[in-house]
Amino acid sequence: MSNFHLRGTGQEDHSLLNEDQVVVKKRLEHASRWRPRLTSCRCWTIAALLAAFWLTFFGLWLYFSYFRDAGGAAGSGAVGRNVKADLVVLPQDLADATGAYCLDGSPPSYYFRNASSEEHHNSWIIHLLGGAWCYNNSECARRSATDLGSSRMLSPKQLFGGILSANFTVNPDFYDWNVAVVNYCDGASFSGDREDPINYNNTKMYYRGSRVLDAVISYLLQSAGLQRADRVILSGASAGALAVYLHADRVSSMVPDDASFKAVADGGFFVPEADTSGGNRWENAMKDVYQMQQVEGSLDEDCLLAKGKNKWECFFAQYAYPYVTTPMFVINSAYDRLALKNILGVRCRPTECSKEELRVIGEHRRTFLQRTDQINRYNKDGMFLTSCYDHKQASSDYFWMTYKVAGRTTREAFADWYYERTTTAETRDVDCGSLTCNPTCRGNR
């Protein structure tokens, strides 16, 4: 038994144990040898489960952030998620009382989404939609049977992007604000002010865009909480941006006096100039709109007084802008696609233009920059002028987040100006010169 006392040393004498004792001892030793391995396996299993959980979570985050269509309750925007706005049509009796009608006589309307945070419960973006113009009674009659001339055929819900998005990832500075998007239904940049309706080929039409705008703002004040606003941004795109130049001060006079009020005009600085044939087709067409819809009554009185016999000029951004007292941020392209096509008559793709077409386009840019240079005279205002072959940049997620000038995106430039995070000089961004010089521009190919 002298060797039996060596337990734990690996030198025990098993000869002193019976068979059952030896079997039990070996099983115990076998188990003890595997215990560290079992512990190691458990650790790997836990790690694998955690990794699977993380991958599942990450996959769901990607799905909801970038691949899932928007949905959910109004005002519930969050990271990676946009939310549709609800259609609101003004009561017919209100339209009748104010004479505020779309082209077809239907009431004005807007899309609305509630603020999603308590912090911005009283912060508002009022956006004026665009959609070109109708230049004569025939065009307006056709337009009256579409959603650009009527509130009767609009979708009950609508999704909006860019500055109007409820997605924090896209729009971190304004995603949780109240948003009211005013539907464009008069064909004259919310400026028609004709008292008597028009009858054209058995179609009765109303040129009352100015009253439409007033009626919607009044309704928001009375019924939607705009009367408690502490911040208001009036924005507009294309024909709606022209309306911002024309009517920002009037809208400002309607909202609470103590509310901060600023405006942003996106793609509305259309310069009247000769087209490739030497004529002024677009300028003359807009004069026709001015006369047909009796726009004069809705325009700035100081501008009208200053222009004398040429009062129609006040219907163009470059002439209306100097009379706007509202702080204004101008977003525009010096190579605006619609301006090049519909005003100049140049329809080539940027990489396929002839030398003559490029000459005309280059001259247009010089004229455009001369007209917009007046923005530099007003310290309260800012601008973001790209060389992108596109039209409108603030209401598209891609353009809002991607287009850059001087290292800043459209979103960053506007937010820096709005929140006064930069100096006056830093809010005046003008892009490089050629039509294909900016690599962030999607359309310049």
How confident is the model at residue 68, as a pLDDT?
37
Q: Are 146 and 153 in contact (CB under 8 A)?
A: yes
Cα–Cα distance measured from residue 358 to residue 374, given in angstroms and rounded to the nearest whole number: 26
Q: Are 319 and 373 in contact (CB under 8 A)?
A: no
How confident is the model at residue 402, as a pLDDT?
97
Q: Which of 336, 381, 416, 429 is catalytic?
A: 336
How confident is the model at residue 442, as a pLDDT?
85
Q: Are 235 and 125 in contact (CB under 8 A)?
A: yes
Q: Which of 189, 238, 333, 396 is catalytic?
A: 238
333 DSSP β-pair partners: 386
Which of the 8 DSSP states describes residue 31? Answer: H
Q: Which of 127, 391, 396, 397 is catalytic?
A: 391
Token reading at 288: 């026709």
How confident is the model at residue 425, as a pLDDT?
82
Residue stretches of the chain with pLDDT short of 50: 1-39, 41, 58-76
Q: Are 342 and 436 in contact (CB under 8 A)?
A: no
Token reading at 75: 């005002």
- Spatial CA neighbour of 142 closest among 183, 193, 203: 203
Of the chain, the percentage scoring pLDDT greater than 70 comes to: 82
Which of the 8 DSSP states describes residue 379? Answer: T
**Residue 238 appears among annotated catalytic residues:** yes
Cα–Cα distance measured from residue 225 to residue 179, given in angstroms and rounded to the nearest whole number: 12
Cα–Cα distance measured from residue 70 to residue 136, given in angstroms and rounded to the nearest whole number: 39
CATH number of 77-430: 3.40.50
**Residue 391 appears among annotated catalytic residues:** yes
Q: Are 176 and 141 in contact (CB under 8 A)?
A: no
**What is the separation of C-alpha 3 from the centre of its chain, rounded to a whole number of angstroms?**
89
Cα–Cα distance measured from residue 160 to residue 70, given in angstroms and rounded to the nearest whole number: 10
Average of per-residue pLDDT values in the chain: 88
How confident is the model at residue 424, as a pLDDT?
84
Report domain extents, the chain. 19-60, 77-430
SS3 37: helix
**Residue 147 appears among annotated catalytic residues:** no
